[in-house]
Structure 1
Amino acid sequence: MTDLSLGILGFVGLFALMVLRTPVAFAMLLTGFFGTWILEGLRRASAVLMTESYSAVANYSLIVIPMFILLGNVAAASGFSRGLYDAAHAWVGRFRGGLASASVIGCAAFSAVSGSSVATAVTIGKVALPEMKRLGYGPALSTGSIAAGGTLGFLIPPSTGFVIYAILTEESIGRLFMAGILPGFLMMTLFIGAIWVMTLRNPEAGPRGEAVPFTQRFALLLKAAPLITVIVVSIGGIYLGVFTPVEASGIGAGLTILLAFATRSLSLSGLGKAVLETVATSTMLYMIVIGANVLNPFLALTGIPEGLGNGLAALGLGPYGTLIVILLSYLVLGMFLDGLAMLVITVPIYFPVIMALGFDPIWFGVVVVIVVEMGMITPPVGLNVFVVRNVAQNVALRTVFRGVTPFLIAMILCLALIISIPDIALLIPNSMF
């Protein structure tokens, strides 16, 4: 059996383990360890397991993950996220579909402190869904806007997806964070446009809310000021070069905790709960990184990336034709895998192909993250759909999937624009560095 054949067999085993509900991190770790054992012997496999596990955990850049997760958890526990939604509601709630648009804006704002798609969907969903139900919003529009809006947590910095991509490709986390800003705002705008189209076709799905006086609007905006301050300081500091992404994560988390205690919106028990949630989530993400680091040497030994590159080149599709094939494969994988699993499994394989085709690695990072986001709302997995379904327990799952369809179209349009105009993603990082 050739090394390439063994690599393909390893992938079959990897997917079989995931079908059997083995956690993604351990499925990758087992495949990488035993694959290397078969190819290079037990001593080499044990050395890879120890050295790669240590190097993954000891990676200084990974500190970004627990710090920004802590920031988001503290913001949710202290009620700062509610302030973001209330401020957005006050400014756009009087328009048709305004509550759904406020939910998308709230998701975008909370994404700038959480970095997690699921956390964004849950946090804003708990606040927005009861209010939309009270005002008679259609269940498809209300749940669809939350599920789609939550995906912004994977694109708008500080995105966990960008951190994982940067570690896998050894690209700059700061450049990737900056590259996600304009695409994130573009997608948010397209989501609001999708809501406008949906309510234009069916006005009863998103009735107008009551107009809020200007004084009250500014008062609610002032109430959201603590979290807005954190966003400006952390993300703005990275752009201005005042501090690195790792430093920004620590400053952002510390500042959020100080503001929460200063405004008496967080207790010690609430902080303890937020820390425990951060540890649980960070442990899962660290294990995924360890699993990827153990799997990648096995992939290199089998020559799968090189074989895939040669196979795609033989098709004669050209750079953009090859890119489309790669993106279509992500859409198929998104029906069965969660976003982080797709990243850690596919990026080591596709990245050498993309570099050989001459594409910008930062731009490709944005493109990949958007395609992974699409997988979060497509059946049958659609992680964000299931999360929102758990929050809105009286809504059928098929209703939520129907509600996200217009937003999925908006994401495809956003992806097409970024592929056609790469400067949407590259303008800010290129001007910064």
Structure 2
Amino acid sequence: MTLVVVIVLLLLLLATGLPVAFSLGIAGTAGLVMFGGPSLLTGILSTAPGSAVGSYEFMTIPMFLLMAEFMVASRISDTLFSAIACWTARLPGGLGVATALTGAAFGAISGSSTAAAATLSKSSIPAMLAQGYERQFASGIVSISGTLAMLIPPSVAIIFYGLLSGASVAKLLVAGIIPGVLVTLVIIFTIWLLIWRKPSITGKTSTYTWAEKLSSLKVAGPFCALFLLVTGLIYLGIATPVESSAIGALGALVFTVISGRMTRAIFLQAVARTCATSAMIALIVISAQIFGYFITATGTTQRLVEAVGAAGLSPYTVLAFLVVLYLVLGCFLDQLSILILTIPIALPLIIKLGFDPIWFGILVILLAEVGMVTPPVGLNVFVVSKSTNTPVSEVFHGVWPHVAAHVALILVLIIFPQIVLWLPSTMGGRA
């Protein structure tokens, strides 16, 4: 009965629009008092905050956030789309392909899907419209391309899953590479399929000289170098994710200084934004742990595992239920909220059924990607709509083919989990 009351309280708090961190903290606190009294709550509050954010791996988040802030301050992202478009101009839907590749590149320096969608909206949609692309086709590409930031390392969502699950953050980050590449290719092939069905949705193409193409490499170079530096060190086992994130932040700082765009005001602004975002995430982690203690104390997870075992359901039946659940939750909640509400309960069940937690983490991130572009919330869709003054319904219409393609890819990764697990299995010794 206590569990039901607390869950109802949590849902009511979320329905009022209270931030998820406060909702979890209040519901978890109430549950602990109801279950074990004030002494249980006092004991947990005396240790939970320190253990939640005092972990070594948590430092990965502010370092990667700082790296992203410095790279945005360098304003290299403003010209990255144009640089990639030089090389994709002759391909069918060349600007759409460039948008997908830019989304992947932006994901290599920023773990924020909405930030990626906002950046792409300002650069790629005007260019596509100028070449005669249909607006809903162009906005759909941008909406789905922004989600790549959630999967391609460094991804805040992946790191957050690692903190919640206790799985290796290094292996999770590396595990996101191949699925990230596959998602990029799926977006590109979906673009080509849509053009094949209706060639009029794109317009004229541009041509570029070899001098312009070679000159564009000066822009793409820093992105590639930073990605290879950060991810390569983790993969080879030379550095831990925390060490690699610090090196990445330093590399981004050096590049921004060299580019001549670093000022005292920009530096302080980047640090302030990093601190604010890190504090927000820390509060979410602390609240999630308090709520998690309540779930553990009530034995909810253990009873759920036992109930599933007694029911005799096959592992894939349970997995199918969870996939549908995550797709539904994605329609209403952001990815971090989904993770903190479900992982403490779902992960022990998944492990009991014999599935790999690294693979499951990537699967959950992919499902959250779909949620970023599905109604009624679809944060990326609303970001693109607001940035381009495009009706929300038109953006949703343009993104549906990509949602279907994403779901097909998720099914492939469920059937062939080694696609996700192969690269982490080849990592160096410090992973």
TM-score bracket for this pair, using the shorter chain length: over 0.9
| Alignment counterpart, residue 162 of structure 1, candidates 158, 162, 166 | 158
| Alignment counterpart, residue 415 of structure 2, candidates 413, 420, 425 | 420
Matched, 1:85 2:85: no
CA drift of 1:279 comes to 2.1
Residues 94 and 212 in structure 1, CA contact (< 8 A), matched pair in contact too: no
Q: Give the root-mean-square deviation of aligned CA atoms.
A: 1.4
Letter aligned with residue 218 of structure 1? L
1:202-261 CA deviation, whole Å, 9 max, x = no partner?
Answer: 222222421212221121012221222111111111111111111111111111111111
Letter aligned with residue 347 of structure 2? F
Letter aligned with residue 425 of structure 1? V
Which residue does the alignment assign to 1:181? Answer: 177
1:18-61 CA deviation, whole Å, 9 max, x = no partner?
Answer: 11001001100111111001111112112212311121121221
The secondary structure found in structure 1 opposite 2:260 is coil
Which residue does the alignment assign to 2:125? Answer: 129
CA drift of 1:315 comes to 4.3
Letter aligned with residue 393 of structure 2? R
1:78-99 CA deviation, whole Å, 9 max, x = no partner?
Answer: 1121343222111113323211
Which residue does the alignment assign to 1:432? Answer: 427
1:187-210 CA deviation, whole Å, 9 max, x = no partner?
Answer: 100001111111222222222421
Are the structure 2 counterparts of residues 207 and 310 from structure 1 closer, same or farther at C-alpha, using a change threshold of 3 Å?
Answer: farther
Distance 2:214 2:46 in 1: 55
Letter aligned with residue 383 of structure 1? L
Q: 90-99 or 149-158, which moves further after superposition?
A: 90-99
Matched, 1:335 2:338: no
Distance 1:224 1:388 in 2: 24
Gaps of 5+ in 1: none
Which residue does the alignment assign to 1:63? Answer: 59
The secondary structure found in structure 1 opposite 2:426 is helix
The secondary structure found in structure 1 opposite 2:47 is helix
1:378-411 CA deviation, whole Å, 9 max, x = no partner?
Answer: 1101111111122112x10001111110111111
Gaps of 5+ in 2: none
Which residue does the alignment assign to 1:295? Answer: 291
Residues 107 and 154 in structure 2, CA contact (< 8 A), matched pair in contact too: yes
Are the structure 2 counterparts of residues 149 and 232 from structure 1 closer, same or farther at C-alpha, using a change threshold of 3 Å?
Answer: same
Residues 108 and 223 in structure 2, CA contact (< 8 A), matched pair in contact too: no
The secondary structure found in structure 2 opposite 1:432 is coil
Which residue does the alignment assign to 1:355? Answer: 351
CA drift of 1:309 comes to 2.3
Distance 2:406 2:417 in 1: 16
Letter aligned with residue 322 of structure 2? I
Are the structure 2 counterparts of residues 30 and 168 from structure 1 closer, same or farther at C-alpha, using a change threshold of 3 Å?
Answer: same
How many residues of Structure 1 are paired with residues of Structure 2 in the alignment? 428
Which residue does the alignment assign to 2:219? Answer: 223
TM-score normalised by L of structure 1: 0.96
Are the structure 2 counterparts of residues 265 and 199 from structure 1 closer, same or farther at C-alpha, using a change threshold of 3 Å?
Answer: farther
1:353-377 CA deviation, whole Å, 9 max, x = no partner?
Answer: 0011011111111111111111111
| Alignment counterpart, residue 404 of structure 2, candidates 394, 404, 409 | 409
The secondary structure found in structure 1 opposite 2:295 is helix
Percentage of matched positions with identical amino acids = 37
Which residue does the alignment assign to 1:142? Answer: 138
Matched, 1:275 2:277: no
Residues 96 and 203 in structure 1, CA contact (< 8 A), matched pair in contact too: no
Distance 2:141 2:334 in 1: 20
| Alignment counterpart, residue 76 of structure 1, candidates 63, 69, 72 | 72
Q: 270-279 or 40-49, which moves further after superposition?
A: 270-279
Give 1:8-23 correspondences, 5 Å limit: 8-23=4-19
Give 1:299-378 correspondences, 5 Å limit: 299-378=295-374
Distance 1:230 1:330 in 2: 33
| Alignment counterpart, residue 207 of structure 1, candidates 183, 203, 219 | 203
Are the structure 2 counterparts of residues 206 and 274 from structure 1 closer, same or farther at C-alpha, using a change threshold of 3 Å?
Answer: farther
CA drift of 1:9 comes to 2.3
Distance 1:94 1:278 in 2: 40
Q: 198-207 or 281-290, which moves further after superposition?
A: 198-207
Distance 1:376 1:306 in 2: 31
Residues 148 and 180 in structure 2, CA contact (< 8 A), matched pair in contact too: yes
| Alignment counterpart, residue 172 of structure 1, candidates 161, 165, 168 | 168
Which residue does the alignment assign to 1:247? Answer: 243
Letter aligned with residue 139 of structure 2? T
Q: 402-411 or 129-138, which moves further after superposition?
A: 129-138
| Alignment counterpart, residue 46 of structure 2, candidates 33, 50, 55 | 50
Residues 182 and 425 in structure 1, CA contact (< 8 A), matched pair in contact too: yes
Which residue does the alignment assign to 1:386? Answer: 382
Letter aligned with residue 307 of structure 1? R
Residues 338 and 376 in structure 1, CA contact (< 8 A), matched pair in contact too: yes
Matched, 1:197 2:193: yes
Letter aligned with residue 406 of structure 1? P
Distance 1:254 1:102 in 2: 28
TM-score normalised by L of structure 2: 0.96
| Alignment counterpart, residue 93 of structure 2, candidates 68, 90, 97 | 97
1:249-287 CA deviation, whole Å, 9 max, x = no partner?
Answer: 111111111111112133332222222222222222111
The secondary structure found in structure 2 opposite 1:113 is coil
CA drift of 1:298 comes to 0.3
CA drift of 1:162 comes to 1.2
Residues 31 and 295 in structure 1, CA contact (< 8 A), matched pair in contact too: yes
The secondary structure found in structure 2 opposite 1:224 is helix
Residues 132 and 204 in structure 2, CA contact (< 8 A), matched pair in contact too: no
1:287-342 CA deviation, whole Å, 9 max, x = no partner?
Answer: 11111111001001222212322343344330111100111111111121111000
Are the structure 2 counterparts of residues 274 and 205 from structure 1 closer, same or farther at C-alpha, using a change threshold of 3 Å?
Answer: farther
